[in-house]
Amino acid sequence: MAHGIVIWPDGVLDTPTERVEEFGPALDALLERMMKALLAAEGAGIAANQIGVSKRVAWVADGAGSFFEIVNPEILEQSEKVVLEEGCLSVPGEWHEVPRFRVVKVRYQDRSGAWHERTAEDRLAHVFQHEIDHLDGKVFLHRLSALKRDLVRRKMRRLKRAEEEAAQEGKA
């Protein structure tokens, strides 16, 4: 688990996350932990389940060098189908073309519980879709053929075994 990031096909990544009902110090602490992992991994976004926490919370890069949190997000509208190259912190080293939408309208809460709606285009729309997929229990590989997904699954299992063996050797 590089930088505390869960590697797919871990079950937490394939399970829909739970809605956040309580806003306060516990959510703030989760967001801080997620941000540390995100910055260490140099990603464009991160979902809570990527650090093993099944909560409907994510960070999204705004495209201008900063991030904002999204809590209990949902996509309200989407338009203009596109195919984009995509990778994931939980699927290291893998990049594939994925069908997405160029424009999305999203409704979400911030850490205080206030609701927001935002229409996003291009890169921001892409990151919203990717992170919300995570919160719905899907990695981008679920949008590919079963054959491609199975090939990547095998690679990720080998990677996880190698990391576990390296960790065991480090303890000896």
Query: What are the DSSP E strand ranges found in the chain?
Result: 45-47, 57-61, 67-88, 91-109, 115-121
| CA neighbor of 140 nearest in space, from 132, 12, 35 | 132
State how far the Cα of 168 lies from the Cα of 172, in Å rounded to an integer.
7
131 labelled catalytic: yes
Question: What is the DSSP secondary-structure string of 102-133?
Answer: EEEEEEEE-TT--EEEEEEEHHHHHHHHHHHH
> Among residues 97, 131, 163, 165, which one is catalytic?
131
Residues annotated as catalytic are 131
